[in-house]
A and B are shown apart, each in its own frame.
Chain A
Amino acid sequence: MTPARRSDGATDLRVQLGPLRLKNPVVAASGTFGYGAEFRPYLDLNDLGGFVTKGLSLLPRRGNAPPRTCETASGMLNAIGLANVGVEAFLAEKLPALRGCGTAVIANVFGETQDEYVAVARRLNGAPGLDAIELNLSCPNTEKGGLAFGVSPPVIREVVGAVRRAAPDLPLIVKLTPNITDVAVAATAAKEGGADILSLVNTFLGMAIDLKTRRPVLDNVVGGLSGPAIKPLALYMVQRVRSAVDLPIMGMGGIANCRDALEFIVAGSAAVQVGTLNFVDPGATTRLVREIDAWCRGEGVRAVRDLTGTLRLPAGTTPGPAAV
């Protein structure tokens, strides 16, 4: 990766998350950026901090029956069903097309069993041009009655540890599900399992009903909520994890503009991910990079990394869920 251009007055946008160096803190989120090349008409990948691929499984998956999406107040529900080309096609067709793209390529990984997570991670370890993997822990665990991997601390420790051993050469990002009572508990388990970086949040479970037919709008009944509607929930979770676990964070959830991104950084994110906004505006990510740069200049912030976790909590605030 080429270092960020530095001229007099320009902000130092580079960030370091454990073993992962990014040229700037803006990363496109999994499932909203395809396999990267799809965005070439709208932006220069070279201007991005990085992007995360659609979630990859061992075999290709066709996904759920439609309707798969539904717009809701300032957000959307999706139940795509983790449709993807499979790890082999990713390595043979998608990854080579990204050679020299100048940005960090992060592969999102999931499985229905721990063995599947491990097998995908092992295939990806050492792949030329791949900079990190991100484990999606929101996938249902078919061996544990369909409960998501990410809701049980022992399961998290085990799957993260197994993937860590299967892909020792790649920085390991663990993506937490928000569908849990205390996200800090999951974050702690991910750290114990050997995560280098935490990313949060994935989508919140939700549903929509068509009153005319009295049926759920989504064929899958439930879907994941994303977009501006979830931002306050996600921001709180980032702050919560930051206060409980000492690992670098990629925060996300409803980021729609530069100020949203900066709030996530102040709450404790070293980098942010941008999801649903890519659908609304395919050039949004690189525009955010320019706007963050401009904001920092205006505020006299020399390096964006200096903003991470600068949240000023009222004196006497105890970390953890408090009465509201």
Chain B
Amino acid sequence: MPSDSPAPVVRHEALNRDHFLLTLESARIAREARAGQFVMIQTRAGSDPLLRRPMSIYRVLPGRRGLIQILYKVVGTGTRYLSQQPRGALLGTLGPLGNGFRLPEPGTRPVLVAGGIGIAIFPFLAEALRKGRGPSPVLLYGGRSKRDLVALDFFRSRRIPVRLATEDGSTGTRGFVTRLLETLLAARKAADHLELFVCGPTPMLKAVGAVATGAGVACQLALESQMPCGIGVCLGCVVPCPGDARGPLFRRVCTEGPIFRASEVAL
């Protein structure tokens, strides 16, 4: 069951100019969280910004203390205020929220597909996959340029193969992450069972979902949305889903997601 309490900032590191790794102490969230879930976090006291911001749980650290980590990028007011929170500050933290990833069937090879800050959802999943002892994952990771690619050490130190793509060609393949995916799909053997786990901006989710559907590969998408409440009551965060003659159905990203199968949503 989710809970809401002020969580102390235990560490707060700048990874580069606009990416930060935040460590919070929250024993309850650490105990209950599953990969793919998120928290709603207060970025500053008072009414500006008014609403909390949704952030994926990057990792639950081992140990008794109950530490969780958030990896985020400064994109606007709320994330900027968040980046100024010092060690010891108390941040209202509500979670764990959302459905989380479904772990793949035994024998299925997981392919993690990240776009930009979408990488933040995957370390927790990689650790869950490792505990599940199935085939180890590969990571396809795209960003605008080299500077947007963070957390590589996490994957490399765990011997997870990483393939990179940048739009400006500053590292890895030049182009979108879908190019890496197409290469991977073309090279796979007929007997290979793959499942894609995808997180990134909506246009990227749409493109990857289409590639996966075309190739007949199972695919889970982690969606983004404006989330005023995070707990299913404001009905603000909905995503259109295949409907009927009367039009699309709308489902709440916060409680029915944020993870959906590609076939479940009409992005």
Q: Give residues in A with beta carbon < 8 Å to B.
A: 31-34, 38-39, 41-42, 54, 62-63, 65-71, 73-76, 78, 80, 83, 227-228, 256, 276, 278-283
- The residue on B at minimum CB distance from A67 is B226
A62 touches B233 (CB 8 A): no
Given contacts A38-B231, A71-B49, A228-B50, 9 further A-B contacts (CB under 8 A): A34-B232, A41-B1, A63-B238, A68-B226, A71-B228, A74-B48, A75-B50, A78-B234, A282-B229
What is the minimal beta-carbon distance from A110 to any residue of chain B, in angstroms?
Answer: 15
Binary interface encoding of chain B residues 226-265 relative to chain A, with 1 for a CB under 8 A from any of its CBs, else 0? 1011011111111110010011111000000000000000
Of the candidates B4, B48, B52, the one whose C-beta lies within 8 Å of that of A42 is B4
Q: Which residues of A contact B236 (CB under 8 A)?
A: 68-69, 78, 80
Partner of A76 from the list B4, B42, B51, B233 (CB cut-off 8 Å) is B51
Complex-state Cα separation, A152 to B163, whole angstroms? 63
Contact between A282 and B231 (Cβ–Cβ < 8 Å)? yes
Kindly report which residue of chain B lies nearest to residue A68, judged by CB atoms: B236
Instruction: Check B239–A66 contact: CB distance below 8 A.
Output: yes
Minimum CB distance partner of A33 in chain B: B233
Which DSSP category, helix, strand, loop or mixed, fits chain A's interface? loop
- With A76-B228, A78-B236 as given contacts, are A282 and B250 in contact (CB-CB < 8 Å)? no
Q: For residue B232, which residues in chain A have a CB less than 8 angstroms away from its CB? A: 34, 38
Assuming the A-B contacts A41-B1, A76-B51, A227-B47, are A279 and B228 also in contact, with contact meaning beta carbons closer than 8 angstroms in the complex? yes
Which residue of chain A is the closest to B48 with respect to CB atoms?
A: A74
Please report B residues at the A interface, Cβ cutoff 8 Å.
1-4, 42, 47-52, 92, 94, 225-226, 228-229, 231-240, 243, 246-250
* Cα–Cα, bound, A281→B94 (Å): 9
User: In whole angstroms, what is the CA distance A181 to B2 when docked?
Assistant: 44
Q: A38-B232, A283-B4 are in contact. Are A71 and B225 (CB under 8 A)?
A: no
Q: Is the interface of B mostly helix, strand, loop or mixed?
A: loop
In the A-B complex, the 6 residue pairs with the closest CB atoms: A69-B236, A34-B233, A279-B229, A228-B47, A74-B47, A279-B228
Docked pose: A34 CA to B173 CA in angstroms: 47
Question: Contact at B235–A83, with CB atoms within 8 Å?
Answer: yes
A sample of 15 cross-chain residue pairs with beta-carbon separation below 8 angstroms, ordered by A number, consists of: A38-B232, A41-B2, A62-B246, A66-B238, A74-B47, A78-B236, A83-B235, A276-B50, A278-B229, A279-B229, A280-B51, A281-B4, A281-B92, A282-B229, A283-B4
CB-based contact A70/B226 at 8 Å: yes
Which residue of chain B has its CB nearest to the CB of A281?
B92
Q: How far is B229's CA from A78's CA once the two chains are assembled, in angstroms? A: 12
**A76 and B50 within 8 A (CB):** yes
Bound-state CA distance A54–B236 (Å) is 13
* B247 CB contacts on chain A under 8 angstroms: 62
Chain B residues with CB under 8 Å of A32's CB are 229, 233-234
